[in-house]
């Protein structure tokens, strides 16, 4: 079964497409989505030279030397799907880039980055029948009209026990408290220090 290939550089022109992974219009997008299953299936039937040629069309570069056939197919399939269905959102791409940098720097990406809280975010938690509301400021937190520099210190005051502030307010991944607390959608990280 023959199927149209991605246009060559000569067909696209010197300026290139407006978006490398996006079809030009809705009609083309629908056509690309309809062709996707056949194009993916055809990858398995291509010889290595044809896969390398398709790689060059998709990525506009030569594949790495000695790349395995299965990786050629996977990368090309990913690019075809990206073109047909859309690529990663910018936020996810940035998060992946940060994880790659962490892995390169430390060799470890198991620890998720702590969320960053924006000034004005409100953290709300029910404890012992009382609702506790903490407002994030540029330099710390406000709880019961007092300024604090540590979310954990506030959690300790509320509970009378040692608590991780982010965990208590549901900001930490896998937190047991997460279901009982709410944070403003922009809420993201704990400060450090003690009660001011």
Domain locations along the chain: 9-85, 122-183
Rounded to two decimals, the pTM is 0.42
- The pLDDT of residue 191 is 40
How does pLDDT run along the chain (196 residues), one tens digit per residue?
333 344 333 433 333 333 444 545 677 778 888 999 999 999 999 999 999 999 999 999 999 999 999 999 999 999 999 888 888 888 888 888 888 888 888 887 766 555 678 889 999 999 999 999 999 998 899 999 999 999 999 999 999 999 888 889 888 765 444 444 444 444 433 443 444 4
Contact between 167 and 175 under an 8 Å Cβ cutoff? The reply is: yes
CA dist 84 and 35 (Å) reads 9
CA dist 82 and 116 (Å) reads 30
Q: What Rg, from alpha-carbon coordinates, does the chain have?
A: 25
């Amino acid at each position: 079964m023959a199927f149209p290939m991605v246009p060559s550089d000569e067909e696209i022109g010197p300026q290139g497409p407006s978006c490398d992974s996006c079809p030009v219009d809705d009609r083309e997008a629908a056509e690309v989505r309809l062709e996707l299953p056949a194009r993916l299936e055809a990858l398995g039937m291509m010889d290595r030279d044809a896969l390398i040629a398709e790689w060059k069309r998709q990525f506009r570069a030569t594949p790495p030397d000695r790349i395995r056939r299965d990786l050629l197919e996977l990368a090309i399939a990913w690019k075809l799907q990206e073109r047909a269905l859309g690529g990663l959102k910018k936020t996810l791409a940035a998060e992946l880039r940060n994880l790659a940098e962490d892995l390169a720097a430390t060799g470890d990406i198991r620890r998720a980055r702590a969320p960053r809280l924006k000034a004005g975010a409100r953290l709300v938690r029910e404890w012992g029948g009382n609702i506790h509301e903490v407002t994030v400021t540029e330099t710390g937190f406000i709880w019961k009209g007092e300024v604090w520099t540590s979310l954990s210190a506030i959690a300790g005051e509320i509970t009378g026990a040692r608590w991780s502030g982010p965990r208590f307010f549901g900001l930490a991944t896998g937190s047991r408290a997460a279901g009982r607390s709410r944070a403003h959608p922009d809420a993201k990280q704990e400060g450090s220090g003690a009660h001011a």
